[in-house]
Chain A
Amino acid sequence: MPQPFMNTPPKPEKLGAMTAGFLQEAFAGESQASQKYLAFAARAADEGLPNVARLFEAVAYAESTHARNHLSVLGGIGDSSENLKAAFGGETFEIDQMYPAYDAVAELQGAKEARTSIRYAKSAEQDHQALYEATRTTVQTGEDMVAETINVCPICGHTVIGDAPGECPVCGTAGQFFRAF
């Protein structure tokens, strides 16, 4: 019997500057489509349309495969030590540069809900920055991090290693609603 054909995602290659620029934009577009469809799936489920919710979830996953393919061609996937460094750098930029600047604009314009959304994100990025930094140190010695549950607040994204707190220290959501990984 012939073996089924196992395909592999597109591979990294040396890119012309224009191709690299547009592939970055395509990665951004696919990433945003995927997140939109996940939010739309939750809305469809709330409206009692579980099959439409499933369609949105499946298509969100398809967009994730496209985002991964573009990222792969762009050479954006390293080994875990490099990936942790890239993740740490991204979180640091959001904490030091992006969210403070965005919050200043939202404050100036009196956008209360936008400020809440920004505050939740910035607070969680600080958790992530610390977790990535600690983990990278472990990986550089060739070891995995310790096996422990990780809990995430479904409202603000607050992230903790180990048990969920009684209530979220950032937004007050009860610990029972946290999603455990």
Chain B
Amino acid sequence: MLIIRCHICGVFADETELQPGGEAHIKRYRSQSSTEDFSSYLFDRSNKKGIHFERWRHAYGCGKWFHVARCTETLEVFGSYSAQTLKPPKSILDKIKVIRPDFKGWKNE
């Protein structure tokens, strides 16, 4: 059972306190968008083995959504950050690069 730190209230919460929300930073496509864009928004997820950015909600705590960077293979958690962002903050990416020197960056950016 994972332990994840809530970015909002700071609690190191058990997985049972949290609600998972799948991959983070998925761009929403609206009315009149192309079929390809809309279908990728609805259905395509990277399903990563390795470093992954995902959404969690402190459902049985402060109720807030936040983002988590973690490794889906070793379950190491690199850090939590605000959900009100379009991409992972530099501080998190830098931290991952220190721990995993072969990390290519978010979406190879």
Are these two chains actual partners, yes or no?
no
Residues of chain A whose beta carbon lies under 8 Å from any beta carbon of chain B: none
